[in-house]
Amino acid sequence: MVQAADPERRAGFARGGEVLCKPWVSGNGKIFRKRDFTINMRSRTVTCPAGQVESFIPGDVVEFNPAACAQCPLRGKCTSAATGSGRTLAIAHDEQLQHRLRKLVASPSGRERLRERVKVEHVLAHLSRKQGRRARYLGLRKNVFDLRRHAAVVNLEAIHRRASAMAA
């Protein structure tokens, strides 16, 4: 998530709002992923699949004990770090939010709630396809006008599709 949005997100939470999105998914190829580690947000500890425990501060990178990692039978599945280095794991500033979102995605009711976003995301995809990914003009005012113009076109196309479907 973007760190610049943190004050706005905190203010939204303070007003009773919530974030409803898919969590960040990290891909590590064939080695253990972050989800294979047990992250305890209350005690601020992370436990590796072999049972080694390290403490963390949100926003930092946790490095497990290199000596323990060197002797671990799961090292080949856990890290590709050079000998003398332990496995590292990045803990995001908003790790607690990411943890909540992972739980949400894991439940059937959470996945159902995430499907509510599909309508909005499809409209934004149509708008992006019409307008493009980059701003056309210099200056905020002209680009806001361009965005609104393209949004109006997308809305008119949707109205036309519905009218055509009703006429048929």
| Domains identified in the chain, total number | 2
| Per-residue pLDDT, 48 | 93
| Per-residue pLDDT, 5 | 53
pLDDT band with cut points at 50, 70 and 90 for residue 4: very low
Q: Residue 27 contacts by C-beta under 8 Å, 6 or more apart in sequence? A: 33
Question: Rounded distance, CA 39 to CA 30, Å?
Answer: 20
Q: Which domain holds residue 47?
A: 3-114
- Does 81 share its domain with 129? no
- Does 87 share its domain with 152? no
Average pLDDT over residues 19-41: 82
Average pLDDT over residues 15-44: 83
pLDDT band with cut points at 50, 70 and 90 for residue 142: very high
- Does 78 share its domain with 136? no
- Does 30 share its domain with 64? yes
- Does 129 share its domain with 88? no
- Does 135 share its domain with 79? no
Across 30-34, 48-52, 62-66, 162-166, least confident range? 30-34
Question: SS3 of 86, please?
Answer: coil
Secondary structure (H, E, C), 8-44 = HHHHHHHCCCCCCCCCCCCCCCCCCCHHHCEEECCCC
Please report, in angstroms and rounded to a whole number, the separation of the first and last CA atoms in the chain.
Answer: 45
Of the two residues 3 and 18, the one the predictor is more confident about is: 18
- Does 129 share its domain with 78? no
Report yes or no on whether pTM surpasses 0.75: no
Of the three residues 99, 114, 129, the one that is the final residue of a domain is 114
- Does 12 share its domain with 89? yes
Determine which helix (DSSP H) or strand (DSSP E) holds 90, and give its type and residue range: strand 88-90
32 with 64: CB under 8 angstroms?
A: no
- Does 123 share its domain with 152? yes
- Does 110 share its domain with 30? yes
| Segment 106-139, tens digit of pLDDT | 899 988 888 888 888 888 888 888 888 888 899 9
pLDDT band with cut points at 50, 70 and 90 for residue 3: very low
